[in-house]
Amino acid sequence: MFKSIFTNSFGILISRIFGFLRDMMMAATLGANIYSDIFFIAFKLPNLFRRIFAEGAFAQTFIPSFIRSHNKAIFSMHIFIAFSLILAVFTLIVSLFPSFFTKLIAFGFDQKTIELASPFVAINFYYLIVIFFVTFLSTFLQYKNHFATTSFATSLLNISLISALYLFKDSDQIVIVEALSYAVVIGGLLQLIAHILALKYFHLEFIFSGGLKYYKKEQNKVKKETKKFKSEFIPAVIGGSTAQISAFIDTWLASFLVTGSISYIYYANRIFQLPLALFAIATTVALFPRISRYIKNSDHKKALEMFDKSFWFLTYLLTLASLGGFILSKEIIWLLFEHGSFSTSDTQNTALVLQMYMIGLLTFGLAKLFSLWLYASQMQKKAAKIASISLVSNIIFSLALIKPLGAMGLALASSLSGFILLFLTLKEFKFEEFFAIITFKKLTIYLSVMLSFTVILILFKDFIDVYI
């Protein structure tokens, strides 16, 4: 188990290192202004769908269905064709009416800014269909417990963006935004090539060749399976993407605030997403195929043992990351982003937003872990109901906090909704099962370690603040 988690985490770490290098170059080149806001808006919608597909709904619905299918190649081909057609039509519509979709994403932008951003929204959206192909192929690799290709391949997107920033660093800022938009699509194509090569290496191409060869003749055999998959997918979209939708809402509402607010939220959320991806997402992706098999075989004892180990693994790491991110927020932003066009004022504003996000890191991470039980048990509708309540609470908190706290209020609202998400998820998992994991001895050790770490961080902060 931990070997798969480590492989996943290491690949994500490499990708995030390139990602932070990209963000440092972007902050220095574009700063936090209308041009950076335009790119983040243009990339927001396809990136939202990418996270839903790669880390949420598709994989969490497809893998259990694939495991249970008696005609795996035919079932896979049916799903591939159906999704490809839907996404191709959706992408075409966005390309034809980019201003309408830009307005949806950034309702607070004036008409001139909408017109400026629209072409880049259309370009970025082509990334969506490419990344679906990547995600679809990655599910077969996950089924074979191979995670390295997917986790390391995400670096290719960041390398593509870094290359664009380097090549066009002396150009006008609008030209840089255009170059970044094309680099997004190129990065997606590079990821797709990597997954095709991995599929051939593991001799899994027969799933495509067999599915394509016998699809017309045998498609009726999987009608019941595909119907069940489709009925579960939409609830899974809602249930598996609360954090992503919350971040999207943050960006949408931030478009009504002062210029730069979208960028503050983006940079803070990037740091928040690092430990979430590195620990929580890496762990859940590695566990999911195993948990699905255990539950399919009614081996709940082994499944609960994995939850026990994973819970304490994540609780320690995410709490350490939360404390570090909250106490050292200003120092982290200063170190990573305060270069070139990114000012001291931008650092202070982004650090405050980061602190609010860090409050919800542990809750989102643990909710991600315990929701595996629902998805592996094919209880997508139950997960969707829980996520819907959390999402509505996020909107209510956002509307209540945006006026007094601005961008900080949006981040805090997201964190508060994470507490509701975790509580409702644990309720379905069963509180008695959860409390069986938390023994008095383990809890005492955990609290002692965290208290000691907090004291060390405060002393460290006082020391380095002298030199900043």
Alpha-carbon distances, residue 274 vs 278, 317, 378, 450 (angstroms): 6, 12, 28, 20
Query: What is the pLDDT at residue 44?
Result: 72
Q: Identity (one letter) of the amino acid at 353?
A: V
For 243-253, write each residue's pLDDT tens digit.
Answer: 667 777 777 78
pLDDT at 55 over 60: no
> Which run of H or E residues covers position 448?
helix 440-465
Distance, in Å, from the CA atom of 42 to the CA atom of 106, rounded to the nearest integer, reads 9
Query: Up-side HSE of residue 158: CA atoms within 13 Å toward CB?
Result: 20
Q: What tokens were used for 235?
A: 């609830």
- Under the banding of pLDDT at 50, 70 and 90, the label for residue 100 is confident
Contact (Cβ atoms closer than 8 angstroms) between residue 151 and residue 12? yes
pLDDT of residue 413 exceeding 60, the answer is yes
Q: Which residues, including other chains, have CB under 8 Å from residue 207's CB and lie 6 or more apart?
A: 72, 73, 76, 140
Question: Is the pLDDT assigned to residue 465 strictly greater than 70?
Answer: no
Report, as an integer, the average pLDDT of 362-381. Answer: 85
Indicate the domain borders of the chain: 2-437
Structure tokens, 284:
């859940």
**Core vs surface per residue 222-241: b (16+ CB within 10 A) or e:** beebbebbeebbebbbbbbb
Quote the CA–CA distance of 388 and 394 in Å, as a whole number: 10
- Measure the CA–CA gap between 49 and 43, rounded to whole angstroms: 10
As a whole number of Å, the CA-based R_g of the chain is 22
- Give dist(CA 373, CA 303) in Å, integer: 9
Q: Which two tokens stand for residue 14?
A: 């490499």
pLDDT score of 150 more than 70 = yes
Q: Which pLDDT score, from 0 to 100, does residue 449 have? A: 93
d(CA 419, CA 321): 17
Q: Where are the alpha helices (DSSP H) in 31-97?
A: 34-55, 57-68, 72-96
Q: Is 94's pLDDT higher than 60?
A: yes
pLDDT digits (tens, 9 = 90+) for 219-245: 777 777 788 777 777 777 666 666 667
Q: At what angle do helices 148-167 and 173-201 cross, to 10 degrees?
A: 150
Q: Does the pLDDT of residue 186 top 80, yes or no?
A: yes
pLDDT of 110: 73
Q: Taking residues 141-158, what's their average pLDDT?
A: 83
pLDDT, average across residues 30-56: 71
CA distance 204 to 190: 19
C-alpha–C-alpha distance, residues 25 and 184, integer Å: 16
pLDDT at position 23 is: 79
CA distance to 92, 107, 271, 354, 380, per residue, from 255 (Å): 26, 7, 20, 18, 32
